[in-house]
């Protein structure tokens, strides 16, 4: 990218981070920081309240995720790292945006339908307005790029529509946030999207490589029709957990297709294929885990990072929210 972007993203504090979060989101956070953009990365603690109701656990998860951010390579000099709730103006912006947001659009959004399906007894108002708060997260700092995984596309599209509509109605106010060119969906061990709130299909980025290897060997779903190593495999359609991840993380695979060809020709068996995958996961996670272990007892430092980041984020977001208030006719008397 030639010009400096305002890069913004957040992760909910629902639990420990998994490899899908790392590959779909966090690794991009680091790249954009390294490129010298204005980076703002937060923990979406308010969004977490739609699914997690244990205050102790929530507080703990927030601190652990900050340490994950730092271990992955973010630092408070290169990125503003903060908790969403430390900037009350985000909630205010969400309220202001909700006044002009048609309800129907929120009910039609696939991520909402998905959450309703998973929590049929827990369809709160917060769940319906989830994308409005997310739009406030994005539009408040005038983000121009939002690195997230593929599952977040509908929410991002909604934020873009809200910005466009607001600008048309009240005059130019918000930057239009762009998505990454390549958004991915990391498969879990069962071949479904890897997720922390899903069935036990995730790889915790803090698990030892040995445990990760064991989980893949025992539970990673490959082509169910390939019974013997001498049978030709179908990496593209029938292998739902291992090959799709090779495509994302194995250097050269997306272009050269060496593993796919070897699988189709029955030159490589599923066990060998899994071992190679875990070796490549190890290359990515080992430096992270080393750094993470050194931060294990740095909770005070993590809180300090959030405190300073919160102040900086607040200064930036406040400016936008004051403008929005003014445009909508709201006066602080």
**Spatial separation of the C-alpha atoms in residues 66 and 306, rounded to whole Å:** 8
Determine which residue in the list 70, 81, 138, 263 makes contact with ligand TRP, applying CB under 6 A: 138
Which among 28-36, 69-77, 147-155, 185-193 is the span making contact with ligand TRP, rule CB under 6 A? Answer: 147-155
146's contact among ligand ADP, ligand TRP, none, with CB below 5 to 8 A by partner kind, is ligand TRP
Cβ atoms of 135 and 153 within 8 Å: the answer is: no
Dihedral angle sign, alpha carbons of residues 262, 263, 269, 270: positive
Establish if 192 lies at the interface with ligand ADP (CB under 6 A).
no
Smallest gap from residue 228 Cβ to ligand ADP (A): 31
277's contact among ligand TRP, ligand ADP, none, with CB below 5 to 8 A by partner kind, is none
Two structure tokens written together for 63: 């601190």
Cβ atoms of 82 and 45 within 8 Å: the answer is: no
What is the number of other CB atoms lying within 10 angstroms of the CB of residue 2? 4
**Residue 154 CA, distance from chain mean position:** 14
Say what angle helices 55-72 and 27-34 make with each other, to 10 degrees.
50
Cβ atoms of 6 and 142 within 8 Å: the answer is: yes
Determine which residue in the list 25, 80, 221, 324 makes contact with ligand ADP, applying CB under 6 A: 25
137's contact among ligand TRP, ligand ADP, none, with CB below 5 to 8 A by partner kind, is ligand TRP
20's contact among ligand ADP, ligand TRP, none, with CB below 5 to 8 A by partner kind, is ligand ADP
Question: Residue 315: which residues within 8 A CB-CB, separation 6 or more?
Answer: none
Establish if 309 lies at the interface with ligand ADP (CB under 6 A).
no
Determine which residue in the list 134, 139, 158, 281 makes contact with ligand TRP, applying CB under 6 A: 134
- Interface with ligand TRP (CB under 6 A), residue total 14
Query: What residues are paired with 145 via a beta bridge?
Result: 7, 178
**Nearest partner of 42 among 57, 58, 26, judged by Cα:** 26
Total length of the chain: 333
Establish if 180 lies at the interface with ligand ADP (CB under 6 A).
no
47's contact among ligand ADP, ligand TRP, none, with CB below 5 to 8 A by partner kind, is ligand TRP
CB nearer to ligand ADP: give 185 or 276.
Answer: 185
Determine which residue in the list 5, 7, 8, 21 makes contact with ligand ADP, applying CB under 6 A: 21
The DSSP call for residue 14 is: S
Which residues of this chain interact with ligand ADP, rule CB under 6 A? 11-12, 14, 20-21, 24-25, 148-149, 151-152, 184-186, 193-197
């Amino acid at each position: 990218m030639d010009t400096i972007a305002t890069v913004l993203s957040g992760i909910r504090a629902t639990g420990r981070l998994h490899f899908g979060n790392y590959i779909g989101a966090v690794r991009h956070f680091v790249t954009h920081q390294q490129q010298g953009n204005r980076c703002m990365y937060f923990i979406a603690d308010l969004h977490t309240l739609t699914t997690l109701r244990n205050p102790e656990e929530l507080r703990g998860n927030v601190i652990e995720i900050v340490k994950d951010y730092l271990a992955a390579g973010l630092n408070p000099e290169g990125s503003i790292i903060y908790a969403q709730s430390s900037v009350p103006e985000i909630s205010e912006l969400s309220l202001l945006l909700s006044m002009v947001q048609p309800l129907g659009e929120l009910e039609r959004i696939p991520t909402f339908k998905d959450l309703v399906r998973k929590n049929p007894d827990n369809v709160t108002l917060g769940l319906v307005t989830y994308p409005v708060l997310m739009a406030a997260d994005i539009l408040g700092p005038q983000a121009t790029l939002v690195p997230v995984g593929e599952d977040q596309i509908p929410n991002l599209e909604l934020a873009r529509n809200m910005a466009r509509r607001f600008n048309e109605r009240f005059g130019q106010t918000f930057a239009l946030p762009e998505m990454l060119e390549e958004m991915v969906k990391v498969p879990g061990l069962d071949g479904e999207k890897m997720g922390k709130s899903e069935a036990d299909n995730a790889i915790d980025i803090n698990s030892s490589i040995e445990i990760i290897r064991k989980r893949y060997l025992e539970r990673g779903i490959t082509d169910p029709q390939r019974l013997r190593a001498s049978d030709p495999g179908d990496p593209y359609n029938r292998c739902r957990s291992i090959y799709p991840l090779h495509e994302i993380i194995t250097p050269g695979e997306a272009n050269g297709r060496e593993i796919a060809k070897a699988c189709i020709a029955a030159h490589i068996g599923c066990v060998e294929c899994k071992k190679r995958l875990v070796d490549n996961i190890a290359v990515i996670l080992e430096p992270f885990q080393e750094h993470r272990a050194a931060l294990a007892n740095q909770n005070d430092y993590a809180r300090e990072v959030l405190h300073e980041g919160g102040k900086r984020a607040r200064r930036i977001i406040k400016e936008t929210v004051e403008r929005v208030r003014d445009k909508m006719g709201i006066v602080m008397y």
